[in-house]
Amino acid sequence: MEKIPKPVIRRLVVYYRCLERLKGEGKEYTSSKELARRLGIKACQIRKDLSYFGGFGKRGVGYKVDSLSERLKEILGIGQKWRAVVIGAGNLGKAIAGHKPLQQQGFEVVGMFDIDGRKIGKKFRELEIMHMNDLEKFVKDNNVRIAILCVPADSAQEAAEAAEKAGVEGILNFSARVIKVSIPVENVDFSASLKSLTFQIIKRKGSS
């Protein structure tokens, strides 16, 4: 299990969500073909991704929805609760802190942090906005495991180092800047996604 590429992990998450929907629809079995059709991912890719964790599927029968879903849940640590803080109480930080699907999936934002004196002490929904100086104590007292970085690019490295020092185990980075810390980091980069989209549009126009 050591060397699973990141894109595979991301697809496992997508499979998990699709299986949960199939369960909701009352389906007992599914196939790589059905998952492929629903998700727009090639069936052979799905079979290969799932094979990282041993063969779940039975020829002619397919995958049992609930056991495959359970197994993925376990692999991805989805059963667990993950307490997180949002660093950067701007529009983006608020959008993330209030993003319902996160809570539904076991992620709980328990605090917001900023360095802007005008924001400190104010509330966003039930969350008080605190000063970065209080991050370390808060992380320890509240068993916070994840920091969600929603600060401007120029503040990203400093904020990331503060989060690492405070003792979080991983960082979800929304700032458009590569950060360097020794804990796991996952980057969410809108503008890279937008550029990838425009590249596809240009390529498509060129070939049509």
Residues of this chain that bind a copy of itself (CB under 8 A): 1-2, 6-7, 9-10, 13-14, 17-18, 38-40, 75-78, 80, 82, 90-92, 94-96, 98-102, 105, 107, 145-146, 152-153, 169-172, 176, 178, 180, 183-205, 207
Closest CA to 185 of 175, 193, 195, 194: 175
Nearest approach, Cβ of residue 162 and a copy of itself (Å): 18
- Whichever of 142 and 198 has its CB closer to a copy of itself, that residue is 198
The residue whose two tokens read 């307490």 is 83
Nearest approach, Cβ of residue 202 and a copy of itself (Å): 5
- Whichever of 67 and 199 has its CB closer to a copy of itself, that residue is 199
Nearest approach, Cβ of residue 133 and a copy of itself (Å): 25
Nearest approach, Cβ of residue 58 and a copy of itself (Å): 25
Element (H, E) at 166: helix 156-166
Quote the tokens at residue 150.
């929603």
d(CA 158, CA 141): 22
Q: Are 85 and 112 in contact (CB under 8 A)?
A: yes
* Ordered alpha helix ranges (H), 109-152: 135-142
- Whichever of 134 and 189 has its CB closer to a copy of itself, that residue is 189
Q: Are 148 and 96 in contact (CB under 8 A)?
A: yes
**Burial group, residue 157, by CB count within 10 angstroms (0-12, 13-18, 19+):** middle
Nearest approach, Cβ of residue 137 and a copy of itself (Å): 22
- Whichever of 156 and 162 has its CB closer to a copy of itself, that residue is 156
Collect all residues with Cβ–Cβ distance below 8 Å to 109 and sequence separation of at least 6: 84, 85, 86, 96, 97, 102, 103, 127, 148
- Whichever of 47 and 94 has its CB closer to a copy of itself, that residue is 94
Strands 170-173 and 185-187: parallel
- Whichever of 59 and 204 has its CB closer to a copy of itself, that residue is 204
Q: What amino acid is encoded at 29 in this protein?
A: Y
Nearest approach, Cβ of residue 31 and a copy of itself (Å): 17
